[in-house]
């Protein structure tokens, strides 16, 4: 199942980057718990779609470039990605390497939590030494 979860994570990032939010939303369970660094916790697909829409609307060239996908067990994937883009009005560039821990159930993301870096995500997923259980 973890190989399938890795592919779902990869496909979700690709859907986001091409602006296909309908395809992106298909990766999430209807009752998903979505934990962000800046905006707190949101529950349900109807609560998270506006976050993605706002990012796409307010940031020119906003992208999520995958750096690494880590199989973190039968139900978790760690996504390490570079966020890029610039404010539409200010043209101030944004870019950072962040990490997500996505928890899957029945082929859907039921929880996604954002972390400042790969190390925090590894610790949250119960992994140490770059992927050793």
pLDDT tens by residue, 68-104: 999 999 999 999 998 766 555 666 656 678 899 999 9
Report the pLDDT value the prediction gives residue 87, as an integer from 0 to 100.
58
The overall average pLDDT reported for the chain is 87
- CA nearest to 65, candidates 111, 18, 127: 18
Q: How confident is the model at residue 10 (pLDDT cuts 50, 70, 90)?
A: very high
* Domain ranges across the chain: 2-123
CATH topology of domain 2-123: Nuclear Transport Factor 2; Chain: A, (3.10.450)
Strands 108-115 and 59-71: unpaired
């Amino acid at each position: 199942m973890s190989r399938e979860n890795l592919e779902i994570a990869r496909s979700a990032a690709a859907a986001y980057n091409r602006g296909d939010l309908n395809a992106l939303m298909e990766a999430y369970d209807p009752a998903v718990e979505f934990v962000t660094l800046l905006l707190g916790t949101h529950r349900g697909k109807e609560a998270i779609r506006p976050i993605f829409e706002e990012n796409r609307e307010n940031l020119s060239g906003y992208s999520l470039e995958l750096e690494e996908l880590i199989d973190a067990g039968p139900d978790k994937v760690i996504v390490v990605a570079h966020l890029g883009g610039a404010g539409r009005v200010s043209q101030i560039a944004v870019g950072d390497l962040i990490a997500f821990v996505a928890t899957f159930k029945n082929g859907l993301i039921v929880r996604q939590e954002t972390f400042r870096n790969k190390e925090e995500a590894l610790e949250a997923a119960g992994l140490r030494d770059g992927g050793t259980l």
